[in-house]
Amino acid sequence: MTIDVSAIRAAYPALADGYAYLDGAAGTQVPASVIQAISAAYAAGLGNSGGEFPASERADAIVAECRAAVAALVGGVPQGVILGPNMTTLTYRLAGTLAKDWRPGDEVVVSRLDHDANVRPWVQAAEQAGAVVRWAEPDPATGELPAAQYGQLVTDRTRLVAVTAASNIIGTRPDVPAITAAARAAGALSYVDGVHATPHGPVDIRALGADFYATSAYKWSGPHIGAVVADPALLATLRPDKLAPADDEVPDRFERGTPPFADLAGVTAAVEHLASLSCAASGTLRERVVASMRAAEQHEQDLFGVLLAGLEAMGHVTIYGKAASRTATAYFNVAGRTPEQVARHLASRKVNVWNGDNYAWELAGVLGIRDSGAAVRAGLVHYNDMSDVTRLLDGVAELAG
Ligand SMILES: Cc1ncc(COP(=O)(O)O)c(C=O)c1O
């Protein structure tokens, strides 16, 4: 199964501006169908939730459809989908909730491969509870996060293991099923950061063994909304801080205040869009999304092979990470130039890339580049094509010598 990248690109109004958007790891563009869904929600008339009139019923239907769509995307159930402003906010909320029941001497395991949003909320919650933080270390030479170390890191005092499903700078996909299995065997919960992984291939939270799986729609062609997906039975055991009159059902009890209903309609449209990436995909929304994301992953990996080979052939380029399994995300430096200079040069060639640690703050430290501006990130998503890759390589080649 393949994807038709020119047809996909035509669906994204922003891609007509002539730039190569290799900044998708920091946020993707949105297709016209998402923009239309948001606009249509407002145009139809929206009330607040829980009312007895049609505009309110439309808002409630939007929330229900959004939960169902996110569940289909990751293999969860709608009643387990917590919606919120972004992954960071939701992770702080879950950390505060879970830590209510941590005691001095309890332990939490975080990793230095992770984005700081899946590190600091747990470290700070552990500090407040008097719990001990234990660190999983990536191998700086390969960028792998060896799963075997969790055998020692996880003990009968471990309450939570937080780990990413993919590094947002070097793309490493750790062996999450092995890590969550180690957590489960010790009676600990696992919190998997799927923000970078979700746009790059099919996701099955059960196969990952994740008790909680976090994702952000703006990384997969949707609006700026985050979600955490868990088993509703697990959520029912937790008591987040909430307003007295606010709904005490699961997952509503984890959601604070009035949600951006129109944006939630956009999230549903984004999942529909992902499900349509391969015209050959058929069946339920879940089946179509899995087939389409598999095809999109193949497309990204094919382009990534060319991108990596091109960078590797340049003597003035240093690439970080070479994990056996990784997303199509390149992280590199150019001799004699700061990452900022490289990004500025590429912008002058109409190529969007990011420079810096991209909040993978611990990992930039492990790689020894945190204090020197870190590196340049060029990431591929389903709407990138060979001309984006060629323009990146041409722009970097100009910086030789
Ligand atoms: C891997 C990863 N985790 C977490 C985050 C934070 O997500 P949000 O912006 O939704 O808080 C990001 C954002 O770049 C990310 O790439």
Give per-residue pLDDT as tens, 198-217: 999 999 999 999 999 999 99
**Helix, coil or strand: residue 52:** coil
Question: What six digits make up the tokens of 296?
Answer: 């999109």
pLDDT given at position 384: 98
Q: Say what percent of the chain tops pLDDT 70.
A: 100
Residue 94 identity: L
Question: Does residue 226 line the site of ligand 1, with CB under 6 A?
Answer: yes
The pLDDT, as a whole number, for residue 401 is 80
Query: What is the DSSP code string of 349-379?
Result: TTEE-EEE-TT-HHHHHHTT-GGGT-EEEEE
Residue nearest to atom 14 of ligand 1 (CA): 26
Q: What is the mean pLDDT of residues 172-186?
A: 98
The whole-number average pLDDT for the span 332-343 is 98
pLDDT of residue 54: 98
Residue 257 per-residue DSSP state:
S
User: Residue 172 Cα, ligand 1 centroid: separation in angstroms?
Assistant: 15
Q: Is 117 in the pocket of ligand 1 (CB under 6 A)?
A: yes
**C-beta 198 within 6 A of ligand 1:** no
**pLDDT tens-place string over residues 371-381:** 999 999 999 99
Tell me, using a 6 A CB cutoff, whether residue 357 lines ligand 1.
no
Choose the residue to mutate in 28, 88, 191 for probing ligand 1, maximizing ligand atoms within 8 Å of C-beta: 88
What is the torsional sign of CA 58, 61, 66, 72? negative
pLDDT for res 281: 86
Distance 10 CA to ligand 1 centre (A): 27
Average pLDDT, the chain: 98
Kind of pairing, strands 132-136 and 189-193? unpaired
Are 191 and 158 contacting, i.e. CB atoms less than 8 angstroms apart? no
**CB under 8 Å, gap of 24 or more: what pairs does 302-307 form?**
303/328, 303/380, 303/384, 303/385, 303/386, 303/388, 303/389, 304/328, 304/330, 304/380, 306/386, 306/389, 307/378, 307/380, 307/389, 307/392, 307/393
Q: 338-354, pLDDT tens digit by residue? A: 999 999 999 999 999 99
Q: What is the pLDDT of residues 55-97, one digit of tens each?
A: 999 999 999 999 999 999 999 999 999 999 999 999 999 999 9
Mutate to test the pocket of ligand 1, among 168, 176, 212 (most ligand atoms within 8 A of CB): 168
Mutate to test the pocket of ligand 1, among 110, 172, 196 (most ligand atoms within 8 A of CB): 196
Ligand 1 center to 383 CA (angstroms)? 20
Q: With a 6 A CB cut-off, is 106 part of the ligand 1 pocket?
A: no
Instruction: Give dist(CA 267, CA 78) in Å, integer.
Output: 14
Alpha-carbon dihedral of residues 227, 230, 233, 235, nearest 10 degrees? -50
CA distance 237 to 35: 37
Residue 274 Cα to ligand 1 middle (Å): 19
Mean per-residue pLDDT for 210-233?
Answer: 98
The verdict on the CB of residue 196 being under 6 Å from ligand 1 is yes
Ligand 1 atom closest to the CA of 167, numbered from 1: 1
CB-based burial label for 53 (10 Å; 0-12, 13-18, 19+): exposed
The 10s digit of each residue's pLDDT in 114-160 is 999 999 999 999 999 999 999 999 999 999 999 999 999 999 999 99
Beta strands in 267-350 (DSSP E): 317-319, 329-334
pLDDT category at 241 given cuts 50, 70, 90 is: very high
As given in the structure block, the two tokens for residue 371 are 């204090």
pLDDT in tens, 314-331: 999 999 999 999 999 999
34 CA from centroid of ligand 1 (Å): 21
CA of 86 to the centre of ligand 1 (A): 8
Measure CA 151 to chain center.
Answer: 26
CA distance 198 to 216: 8
* Average pLDDT value for residue range 293-297: 98
pLDDT of residue 1: 75
- How do residues 350-360 score in pLDDT, each as one tens digit? 999 999 999 99
